[in-house]
Amino acid sequence: MKWIKFNAKKLFKKLSNKVSRIKKEHLIKEYFKNNVLLITFLITVVLNSTILRFFCMHSIENYISVKAILADLIIALFIGSFAYLFKPKNRFTYLFICNIFLTAICMINSVYYTFYTSFASVSMLSLTQYIGDVGDAVVENVIQLKDLIYVLGPLIFIYVHIRIKKKNYYKKVELKAERKKKTLKTLGASGVLLIIFLLTMTSLDVSRFMKQWNKEYVVMRFGIYVYQINDVFTSIQPKINSMFGYDQAKKSFDDYFAEVSDTPQTNEYTNIFAGKNVILIHGESMMTNAMSLSFNGVEVTPNLNRIAREGMFFSNFYSQVSVGTSSDTELTYNTSLMPTKSGTAFVSYADRTFITTPQMLKEQGYFTYVMHANNADFWNRRNMYKSIGYDKFYSKVDFEVTKENTIGLGLSDKEFFTQSIPYLKEINEKNDKWYGVYIMLTNHTPFSETEKYGEYPVDIKETITHENGTTEEVVYPYMEGTKLGNYFKSLHYADQALGEFLAKLDEEGLLEDTVFILYGDHDARLPRRDYNRLYNYDKENNDILDEDDPNYKEYDSYQYELGRKVPFIIWTKDMKGTKLNQQITNVMGMYDVQPTIGNMFGFYNKYALGHDIFNTKENNIVVFPNGNWVTNKLYYNSQKEAYLSLTEGEITEEEISKNSGYTNKLLDVSNNIIVFNLFNDDNEEIVE
């Protein structure tokens, strides 16, 4: 005790001596002068990371997050300290290379965030080829001026380098021992900051850092550089995980399905469509909220609306995608599993065994095919479609694609459907029963080729009658020129393509014994401010109504998230007016489709994670890959740890924690099934 006291006293004396020496000898000023290169490096690196948060997070406490700045500084100091191992004249090269590398991290994440509203992952590196394929669309939609701002960092660095070079900064001679000492001191400084950082970490920080799925939180608290380093480890983790931990995964899988019946629960829809042909439409970026809109008396989606009116329309339906967007929806639709926690199932786990809708229909004697007039390797479909079990994949090479019939990413939807008819006629002649999937393409972001979509004004036209009896037409721009407005034009085109396709199928007699199913694959990622304009347009001022205006309807982040609903419709030519012609308003997710239509067509997958909506009814729950979930009663945002009540009923904490527990368990089991290949044929207990 005495010893500690003595040492503390000594230490304090030493420290206070040092502080007064620093004061007296202007050591700080001196340090800055002698280490101007390192300091510029630190400032530019921290600045770039802060700018990135500024563009992605839109809230002052996020981009001026002290913790993130501290974390960025620790990384920059750590990397920067090794510069002192080099002779002064070589330090610039080392720090400049590091600066470029760290700048690239910020830039890539900035571009990536605009595209996916998420931060980049090295596990997605194998996907860059698909992003590249989108070509102009991505460049036009994604690379914006703001993404180039990060270049300022290296430019400032070069500028400082030139200036100090002129002042003979690099001419100084430093002995090896002195360089080593400087390195160790700088490393020590980063170590001290690291200790301070670790001491201020909360248990929530630790847990989110380990799980990494809440990327925004990790970037907000740890900065982009720590996030990216952590991401490298979490990305290789699935590979390592699939080597270790199988027993634990298998056990939790067995527990999860122990109570699930080996035979399906029947209801009034059991086998109603058994043996019927199927046309399934993958409606690119189709959103439910657009279905209720009209401009100048013309509906945005008259054909969708017609089949929704005449068929079975699931109006409270969500896709459950993660970064794999289209491919995630295809996974969930076909397998009733959720997207993987890291990477995408289509790319990283295409070799796994799945229990899929096409496979189960094939067992019933169906010919199963898929048509998509894009590159077969996009989203690794060429390989993944083998695992899904399609008999044939008609891709870009099977269609005549010219400059004239191309819109956006590829062959226009109208042309795609037209060219697909002869194939279907042949399939119909050769096969007793068939199941065909049509993946649409035109209604894909950035919705910029408006001149090719055809006339569909999204303005407001009004005829005014003057006192003298003369009339005048007034036009208010409304949604013209906005991204959302362009989306409506593009969607109107896609809807027309669908209408023409239905008419052609009917003409060829191909609708007689056919069930037409359609889903929207995911939302169109449109800006919230455009919705604000849509719902709060002040035509007199061609602006958004003032928030104090009594007619102002707030479109907050909850409404935006819940507004991501996509349509799901089952329609047959003769459904109108029958008991099947109804709107189902219970909340439902893409993972509920396989069990729901499975019951109608007479197939069953015990290991589906979703449920037949006609069994769960109002008690259904839709979980999202990020841990959020929604029921008829409430929507829970796990990242904000906040909820929105959707009914009058009382919400209990018990209910929230029960549903959150269910969500986490389901996501774990789903991930384990894919990562550990738990449906593998070798595993006899699982697959009969």
Tokens linked to 463: 């005829």
CA 140 – CA 471 distance, rounded (Å): 42
Round to the nearest angstrom and report the end-to-end CA distance of the chain: 70
Q: Kindly write out the interface string for residues 399-438 of this chain, putting x where it contacts ligand GP9 by CB under 6 A and - elsewhere.
A: ----------------------------------------
Q: Which residue has the tokens 């994670």?
A: 609
Q: Kindly write out the interface string for residues 432-451 of this chain, putting x where it contacts ligand GP9 by CB under 6 A and - elsewhere.
A: -------x----x-------
Residue type, 218: V
**Is 486 or 605 the residue whose CB approaches ligand GP9 more closely?**
486
What is the bridge-based pairing of β-strands 366-371 and 433-439? parallel
- Residue 56 CB, nearest approach to ligand GP9 (Å): 20
- Residue 397 CB, nearest approach to ligand GP9 (Å): 14
**Is 377 or 655 the residue whose CB approaches ligand GP9 more closely?**
377
- Asked if residue 325 binds ligand GP9 (CB under 6 A), the reply is yes
- Residue 319 CB, nearest approach to Mn ion (Å): 9
Q: Which listed option, ligand GP9, Mn ion, none, makes contact with residue 84 (CB within 5 to 8 Å by class)?
A: none
What is the bridge-based pairing of β-strands 433-439 and 277-283? parallel
Q: Which of 40, 65, 319, 326 binds ligand GP9 (CB under 6 A)?
A: 326
Distances (CA, A) of 255 to 12, 248, 335: 59, 11, 20
CA 76 – CA 223 distance, rounded (Å): 11
**Is 38 or 321 the residue whose CB approaches Mn ion more closely?**
321
Q: Which listed option, ligand GP9, Mn ion, none, makes contact with residue 374 (CB within 5 to 8 Å by class)?
A: ligand GP9
**Is 330 or 612 the residue whose CB approaches ligand GP9 more closely?**
330
**Is 355 or 384 the residue whose CB approaches Mn ion more closely?**
384
Residues of span 456-475 touching Mn ion by CB under 5 A: none
CA 486 – CA 141 distance, rounded (Å): 13
Q: Kindly write out the interface string for residues 203-232 of this chain, putting x where it contacts ligand GP9 by CB under 6 A and - elsewhere.
A: ------------------------------
**Is 91 or 444 the residue whose CB approaches ligand GP9 more closely?**
444
What residues have CB less than 8 Å from 578, skipping those under 6 apart?
none
Question: Can you give 598-656 as a three-state secondary structure string?
Answer: HHHHCCCCCCCCCCCHHHHHHHCEEECCCCCEEECCEEEECCCCEEEECCCCCCCHHHH
**Is 231 or 284 the residue whose CB approaches Mn ion more closely?**
284
- Residue 346 CB, nearest approach to Mn ion (Å): 12
CA 83 – CA 98 distance, rounded (Å): 10
Residue type, 417: F
Q: Which listed option, Mn ion, ligand GP9, none, makes contact with residue 378 (CB within 5 to 8 Å by class)?
A: ligand GP9
- Residue 257 CB, nearest approach to ligand GP9 (Å): 30
Q: Are 301 and 491 in contact (CB under 8 A)?
A: yes
CA 264 – CA 605 distance, rounded (Å): 8
- Residue 347 CB, nearest approach to Mn ion (Å): 15
Cα-trace Rg, the chain: 30
Q: Which listed option, ligand GP9, Mn ion, none, makes contact with residue 109 (CB within 5 to 8 Å by class)?
A: none
Q: Are 616 and 599 in contact (CB under 8 A)?
A: no
What residues have CB less than 8 Å from 369, skipping those under 6 apart?
390, 391, 392, 393, 394, 427, 434, 435, 436, 437
- Residue 442 CB, nearest approach to ligand GP9 (Å): 10
Task: Report which of 507, 369, 386 is spatially closest to residue 438, judged by C-alpha positions.
Answer: 369
CA 13 – CA 36 distance, rounded (Å): 30
Give the H/E segment covering residue 360. helix 357-362
**Is 219 or 439 the residue whose CB approaches ligand GP9 more closely?**
439
What burial class does residue 422 get, using C-beta atoms within 10 Å of its C-beta: 0-12 exposed, 13-18 middle, 19+ buried?
A: exposed
- Residue 637 CB, nearest approach to ligand GP9 (Å): 23
**Is 131 or 544 the residue whose CB approaches Mn ion more closely?**
131
Residues of span 313-372 touching Mn ion by CB under 5 A: 326
Q: Kindly write out the interface string for residues 345-374 of this chain, putting x where it contacts ligand GP9 by CB under 6 A and - elsewhere.
A: -----------------------------x
- Residue 114 CB, nearest approach to ligand GP9 (Å): 14
Which window, 7-15, 191-199, 281-289, 379-387, contacts Mn ion (CB under 5 A)?
281-289
- Residue 372 CB, nearest approach to ligand GP9 (Å): 6
Number of residues counted as binding ligand GP9 (CB under 6 A) = 6
**Is 444 or 565 the residue whose CB approaches ligand GP9 more closely?**
444
**Is 442 or 586 the residue whose CB approaches Mn ion more closely?**
442
Q: Are 227 and 211 in contact (CB under 8 A)?
A: no
Q: Which residue has the tokens 């002995």?
A: 175
Question: Can you give 160-199 as a three-state secondary structure string?
Answer: HHHHHHHCCHHHCCCCHHHHHHHHHHHHHHHHHHHHHHHH
- Residue 434 CB, nearest approach to Mn ion (Å): 24
- Residue 555 CB, nearest approach to ligand GP9 (Å): 24
**Is 209 or 487 the residue whose CB approaches ligand GP9 more closely?**
487
As a dihedral over the C-alpha atoms of residue 198, residue 41, residue 217, residue 213, rounded to 10 degrees, the angle is: -100
Residues of span 72-131 touching ligand GP9 by CB under 6 A: none
**Is 153 or 283 the residue whose CB approaches ligand GP9 more closely?**
283
- Residue 437 CB, nearest approach to ligand GP9 (Å): 12
Q: Which listed option, ligand GP9, Mn ion, none, makes contact with residue 231 (CB within 5 to 8 Å by class)?
A: none
> By the criterion CB under 6 A, which residues form the site for ligand GP9?
325-326, 374, 378, 439, 444
Residue numbers of the site for Mn ion (CB under 5 A)? 284, 326, 521
